[in-house]
């Protein structure tokens, strides 16, 4: 399986916690489209308006730390982010991202290897990131098999539904 994502890289620093991804003051908004307009406004004011479908967030250490706020990966996905690449992730953010079908790739020194706004192509299955203008190929840590299954299915709910359908079909 080759899941290819093409877009621009948007670089943020280390320790971007879930409150910086989506501030708690916006959690009363019930529409994810509206909520996503405020994504990352603490570390990068105005970034949400620049993001196009397929763009990639590139971060340093412990991306998504703090609370286990499920809205954090969801607003990034709704905004159009195709993938998040970081040096490391908070465990709950990492799992929540895969649970909704948002790839999260681990890359050593990630936020120092990209230029803000440069075009990138990400092959999630291979764990490869090509920095297009520079012709540089980077290799991420492999995505664990269970996480790849979640991505291939479109997230945990989709995987559950698929497995349930398969079980019912076998029983008939």
Output the pLDDT for position 90.
97
Rounded to whole angstroms, the Cα distance separating 99 from 7 reads 22
Which residue do the tokens 């764990």 mark? Answer: 127
Domain count, the chain: 1
Structural domain span for residue 143: 4-171
pLDDT of 1 higher than 60:
no
The confidence band for 167, taking pLDDT boundaries of 50, 70 and 90, is: low
Query: What would the two tokens of residue 136 be?
Result: 């540089």
* Closest by CA position to 51, among listed 18, 22, 78: 78
Res 15: pLDDT: 97
Q: What is the pLDDT of residue 2?
A: 54
Q: What are the tokens at 133?
A: 């203008």
* pLDDT value of position 168: 61
The model's pTM: 0.92
pLDDT of residue 57: 98
pLDDT score at 85 = 98
Tens digit of pLDDT for each residue in 27-41? 999 999 999 999 999
Residue 49 belongs to domain with CATH number = 3.20.19.10
DSSP states of 17-47:
BHHHHS-GGGTT---HHHHHTTTTTTTSTTH
pLDDT, one tens digit per residue, over 11-60 is 999 999 999 999 999 999 999 999 999 999 999 999 999 999 999 999 99
116-164 pLDDT tens trace: 999 999 999 999 999 999 999 999 999 999 999 999 998 888 888 887 7
Q: Among the residues of 45-104, which ranges form H helices?
A: 47-50, 71-79, 91-99
């Amino acid at each position: 399986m080759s899941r290819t994502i093409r877009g621009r890289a948007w670089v943020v620093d280390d320790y971007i916690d879930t409150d910086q991804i989506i501030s708690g003051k916006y959690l009363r908004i019930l529409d994810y489209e509206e909520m996503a307009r405020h994504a990352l406004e603490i570390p990068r004011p105005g970034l949400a308006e620049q993001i196009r479908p397929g763009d990639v967030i590139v971060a340093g250490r412990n991306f998504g730390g703090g609370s286990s706020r499920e809205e954090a990966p969801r607003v990034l996905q709704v905004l159009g982010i195709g993938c998040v690449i970081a040096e490391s992730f908070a465990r709950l953010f990492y799992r929540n991202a895969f649970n909704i079908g948002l790839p999260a790739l681990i890359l050593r020194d990630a936020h120092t290897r990209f230029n803000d706004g440069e075009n990138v192509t990400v092959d999630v299955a291979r764990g490869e990131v090509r920095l297009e203008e520079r012709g540089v190929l980077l290799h991420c840590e492999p995505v664990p098999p269970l996480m790849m299954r979640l991505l291939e299915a479109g997230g945990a709910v989709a995987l559950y539904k698929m497995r349930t359908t398969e079980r019912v079909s076998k029983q008939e």
